[in-house]
Amino acid sequence: MTSSSATSPDSLAKPGWWSRHQMALVPWLFLTPAMLMFMVYVIAPIFESIAISFYDWDGLGTPKFIGLGNYIELMGDPDFMVSLKNNVIWFFGFLLSIPMGLGLALLLNQQVFGIRLAKSLFFFPFVISQVVIGLVFSWFYDPTNGLLLHVMAALGMDPVAILSDDRLVTYGIVVAGLYPQTAYCMILYLTGLNNLRPDLIEAARLEGAKGWTMLFKIVLPQLRPATFIAVVVTIIGSLRSFDMISIMTQGGPYGQSRVLAYYMYEKALSEYGYRMGYGTAIATVLFLLMLVYIIFVLYRVYKQEQETD
């Protein structure tokens, strides 16, 4: 089987080096390719980015060390502040997908004819690229003939060009982003609802619990794992938002719909400039914000590990 074959005379007395060490070596052998790839493309770049953020660099010439220069500039950069503010809007706006997803899941957790198809159709938006969703919503908001225009006219309201209105634009994009995100949260909750403990529900019913009481006292506590995942993916999704903004407005009008993820790209890699150092400084800020959640997730995984051991 291994190098210690029965034909070699001393193998019985002393197993080969490989078979003596294979339990210790095999895991590292199997880990190496994945670790190598992950180190080169994910872990090392994080540190490189942080290092670059202390330099003034156009991506071609010699980088010039400027210490905290980029960060000091960020503090006084009104565009950075707008992006940060929009990230806050995205954050809170996106969290709406959790109750909305729960609502849809409660609506669909039935056993009637065709419900399976209905569930998958409700999930549809998540499967489609955000690029496509972004295009569709830009068309909805189109100020000359968009659906929103017709709806507002029907309601007797003055039409609004959402995507060119600097106060409304971010909210308009967040609504588009909520569409697939709500579908995602819905699926998480549908799975959770599937695994409710029927005995607890029945016992609570016998005690007279129903409606909201039942939902908040009996059902939601059992859905905590689903809620946890929904919160994690939603928060991360809100901080990662890039696709929709790039498709729908390219940060406009006048940069009013930028978020950190988009502003970073614009600074480092677009016709607006190749300021790699400044871009990575923005990315580092974004990374530090996200680190809070990464640590939160890892801590929970760690606690789970200790329970199962």
Partner 1 sequence: MFPTPIANTSLPTRLLYKVGLPVALLVWLLPIIAVAFTSVRGLGDLSSGNYWGLPTDWRIIENYSAVFNNTPLATYILNSFLVTIPTVIGALTLACMAGFALGVYRFKFNLLVFFIFVGGNFIPFQILMVPVRDLSLRLGLYDTITGLVLFHIAFQTGFCTFFMRNFIRELPRELIEAARVEGASEIQIFFKVVLPLVRPAVAALSVLIFTFIWNDYFWATVLIQGSHAMPVTGGLKSLNGIWVAQWHLVSAGSIVAAMPPVLIFFLMQKHFIAGLTFGATKG
Residues between 110 and 169 that touch partner 1 (CB under 8 A):
110-112, 118, 120-125, 127-133, 135-137, 139-140, 142, 144-147, 150
CB of 115 vs partner 1, minimal distance in Å: 8
Q: 118-132: buried (b, 16+ CB within 10 Å) or exposed (e) per residue?
A: ebeebbebbeeebee
Which of the ranges 64-72, 89-97, 159-167, 241-249 carries the binding residues for partner 1, by CB under 8 A?
Answer: 241-249
| C-beta neighbour count of 163 within 10 angstroms | 22
Q: Is 174 in the site for partner 1 (CB under 8 A)?
A: no
Which of the ranges 62-70, 90-98, 159-167, 238-246 carries the binding residues for partner 1, by CB under 8 A?
Answer: 238-246
Number of residues lying near partner 1 (CB under 8 A): 112
CB of 44 vs partner 1, minimal distance in Å: 7
Which of the ranges 65-73, 153-161, 165-173, 259-267 carries the binding residues for partner 1, by CB under 8 A?
Answer: 259-267
Q: Is 175 in the site for partner 1 (CB under 8 A)?
A: no
* Nearer CB in complex with partner 1: 42/206: 42
Residues between 58 and 77 that touch partner 1 (CB under 8 A):
59
**Taking a C-beta distance cutoff of 8 angstroms, is the pair 89, 170 a contact?**
yes
Can you say whether the dihedral through the CA atoms of 120, 246, 285, 77 is positive or negative? negative
Which of the ranges 18-26, 71-79, 91-99, 159-167 carries the binding residues for partner 1, by CB under 8 A?
Answer: 18-26
CB of 69 vs partner 1, minimal distance in Å: 17
Residues forming a β-bridge with 56: 64
Q: Is 95 in the site for partner 1 (CB under 8 A)?
A: no
Residues between 210 and 229 that touch partner 1 (CB under 8 A):
210, 214-215, 218-219, 225-226, 229
List, as own/partner pairs, every contact residues 103-107 make where C-beta atoms lie below 8 angstroms and the sequence separation is at least 24, other chains included: 104/182, 104/183, 104/186, 104/189, 105/185, 105/186, 105/187, 105/189, 105/190, 105/192, 105/193, 106/189, 106/193, 106/215
CB of 22 vs partner 1, minimal distance in Å: 5
- Using the structure block, give the residue that is written with the tokens 């065709």: 114
Q: Measured between alpha carbons, how far is 57 from 62 in angstroms, rounded to an integer?
A: 7
Q: Measured between alpha carbons, how far is 302 from 174 in angstroms, rounded to an integer?
A: 33
* Nearer CB in complex with partner 1: 1/206: 1
